A and B are shown apart, each in its own frame.
Chain A
Amino acid sequence: MNPSEAPATVPPPRKSRRIPGWAVGALGVAGAVVLLSTTSYLTGVPQLTSTGTIQTAVRLALPILLAALGGLWAERAGVVNIGLEGMMIMGTWGAAWAGYQWGPWAALVSAAVFGALGGLLHAIATVTFGVNHIVSGVAINLLGAGLTKYLSTLIFFPLSNNPRESPAVPKFDTYSASGLSDWLGELEAQQRVGLSDVAGILRGLVTGVSPLTMLAILLVIGSYLVLWRTRFGLRLRSCGENPVAAESLGVNVYLYKYVAVISSGALAGIGGAALVLNPGQPGYLEGQTNGRGFIGLAAMIFGNWRPGGLLGGAALFGYADGLQLRSGGKTFLALVYGAVLLLVVIVIWQLIRRRWFAAAFGILAAGLLYAVYYSVDEVPSELTTYAPHLVTLVVLAVASQRLRMPAADGVVYRRG
Chain B
Amino acid sequence: MGILRGKLLPPVLAILFSALLCGIALVVSDANPLQAFGVMFAQVGEGTTAVDIINSTGTYYIAALAVAIGFQMNLFNIGVEGQYRVAAVVAAVVGGSIALPPGLHALVIILTAAVAGALWAAIPAILKVTRGVNEVISTIMMNGLALGLAAYLIGADVFGELRGNNIRTPEIPESGWVPGIPLGSSGTVFGLVFLAALLGIGYWVMMNRTRFGFELRASGESSTAAAAGGVNAKKMVLIAMLLSGGIAGLVSMPEILGRDHTYNLNFPAGIGFSGIAIALLGRNHPGGIAFGALLWAFLDKSGLALDNVGVPREIVTIMQGAIVLSVVVAYEVVRRFELAAQQRQVGRQLGTVDAA
Contact, CB under 8 Å: B29 / A386: no
Known contacts A131-B329, A389-B144, A401 near B132 by CB under 8 Å: yes
Contact, CB under 8 Å: A396 / B144: no
Tell me if A19 counts as interface (CB < 8 A to partner B): no
Q: What is the CB-to-nearest-CB distance from B265 to chain A, in angstroms, rounded to a whole number? A: 12
Tell me if B108 counts as interface (CB < 8 A to partner A): no
Bitwise, A139-172 to B at CB < 8 A (1) or not (0) is: 1111111110110011000000001000000000
Contact, CB under 8 Å: B332 / A131: yes
Contact, CB under 8 Å: B152 / A135: no
Interface size class of B (residues with CB under 8 A): 35 or more
Which B residues lie within 8 Å of A301 (CB)?
A: 134, 137
Which A residues lie within 8 Å of B318 (CB)?
A: 143, 146-147, 150
Known contacts A146-B321, A382-B148, A401 near B131 by CB under 8 Å: yes
Tell me if A64 counts as interface (CB < 8 A to partner B): no
Which B residues lie within 8 Å of A396 (CB)?
A: 127, 131, 133-134, 137-138
Known contacts A129-B333, A149-B314, A397-B133, A139 near B321 by CB under 8 Å: yes
Residue among B133, B134, B336 with most chain A CB within 10 A? B133
Which A residues lie within 8 Å of B78 (CB)?
A: 82, 134, 138
Query: Roughly how many angstroms separate A385 CA and B138 CA in the complex, as a whole number?
Result: 17
Which A residues lie within 8 Å of B329 (CB)?
A: 125, 129, 131
Contact, CB under 8 Å: B155 / A139: no
In the complex, which residue of chain B has the Cβ closest to the Cβ of A297?
Answer: B137
Which A residues lie within 8 Å of B152 (CB)?
A: 380, 382-383
Query: Roughly how many angstroms separate A186 CA and B29 CA in the complex, as a whole number?
Result: 57
Contact, CB under 8 Å: B137 / A386: no
Query: Roughly how many angstroms separate A153 CA and B26 CA in the complex, as a whole number?
Result: 13
Which B residues lie within 8 Å of A392 (CB)?
A: 137, 141
Bitwise, B248-286 to A at CB < 8 A (1) or not (0) is: 000000000000000000000000010011001000000
A-facing residues in B314-356 (Cβ within 8 Å) = 314-322, 324-325, 328-329, 332-333, 336
Q: What is the CB-to-nearest-CB distance from B277 to chain A, in angstroms, rounded to a whole number? A: 6
Which A residues lie within 8 Å of B276 (CB)?
A: 138
In the complex, which residue of chain B has the Cβ closest to the Cβ of A401?
Answer: B132
Partner of B317, one of A134, A142, A386, A393: A142
Which A residues lie within 8 Å of B277 (CB)?
A: 138-139, 142
Query: Roughly how many angstroms separate A390 CA and B144 CA in the complex, as a whole number?
Result: 9
Query: Roughly how many angstroms separate A392 CA and B322 CA in the complex, as a whole number?
Result: 31
In the complex, which residue of chain A has the Cβ closest to the Cβ of B329?
Answer: A129
Contact, CB under 8 Å: B148 / A386: yes
Tell me if A298 counts as interface (CB < 8 A to partner B): yes
Contact, CB under 8 Å: B131 / A397: yes
In the complex, which residue of chain A has the Cβ closest to the Cβ of B331?
Answer: A131
B-facing residues in A151-202 (Cβ within 8 Å) = 153-154, 163
Partner of A150, one of B133, B312, B328: B312
Tell me if B197 counts as interface (CB < 8 A to partner A): no
Contact, CB under 8 Å: B321 / A142: yes
Known contacts A129-B333, A382-B152, A393-B127, A146 near B325 by CB under 8 Å: no
Contact, CB under 8 Å: B140 / A143: no
Tell me if A254 counts as interface (CB < 8 A to partner B): no
Which A residues lie within 8 Å of B29 (CB)?
A: 154
Q: What is the CB-to-nearest-CB distance from B154 to chain A, in angstroms, rounded to a whole number? A: 9
A-facing residues in B111-145 (Cβ within 8 Å) = 123, 127, 131-134, 136-138, 140-145
Known contacts A138-B276, A393-B142, A131 near B151 by CB under 8 Å: no
Q: What is the CB-to-nearest-CB distance from A408 to chain B, in angstroms, rounded to a whole number? A: 15
Contact, CB under 8 Å: B328 / A146: no
In the complex, which residue of chain B has the Cβ closest to the Cβ of A298?
Answer: B137
Contact, CB under 8 Å: A400 / B133: yes
Contact, CB under 8 Å: A135 / B328: yes
Tell me if B84 counts as interface (CB < 8 A to partner A): no
Q: What is the CB-to-nearest-CB distance from B351 to chain A, in angstroms, rounded to a whole number? A: 24
Which B residues lie within 8 Å of A146 (CB)?
A: 314, 316-321
Contact, CB under 8 Å: A132 / B127: no
Contact, CB under 8 Å: A139 / B148: no
Q: What is the CB-to-nearest-CB distance from B274 to chain A, in angstroms, rounded to a whole number? A: 8
Q: What is the CB-to-nearest-CB distance from B214 to chain A, in angstroms, rounded to a whole number? A: 23
Which A residues lie within 8 Å of B144 (CB)?
A: 291, 294, 386, 388-389
Known contacts A291-B144, A393-B127, A396-B138, A139 near B324 by CB under 8 Å: yes
Known: A150-B317, A294-B144. 10 other contacts (CB 8 A): A131-B328, A142-B277, A150-B315, A380-B152, A393-B133, A393-B141, A396-B137, A397-B127, A400-B131, A400-B132
A-B contact pairs, 13 of them (CB 8 A): A131-B328, A139-B321, A146-B314, A147-B318, A291-B143, A291-B144, A385-B148, A386-B145, A386-B147, A389-B141, A389-B144, A393-B123, A401-B132
Interface set of B (CB-CB < 8 Å, partner A): 25, 29, 76, 78, 123, 127, 131-134, 136-138, 140-145, 147-149, 151-152, 155, 273, 276-277, 280, 312, 314-322, 324-325, 328-329, 332-333, 336
Interface set of A (CB-CB < 8 Å, partner B): 82, 121, 125, 129-132, 134-136, 138-147, 149-150, 153-154, 163, 291, 294, 297-298, 301, 380, 382-383, 385-386, 388-390, 392-393, 396-398, 400-401
6 closest pairs, A vs B, by CB? A146-B317, A143-B321, A153-B312, A386-B148, A389-B144, A382-B151
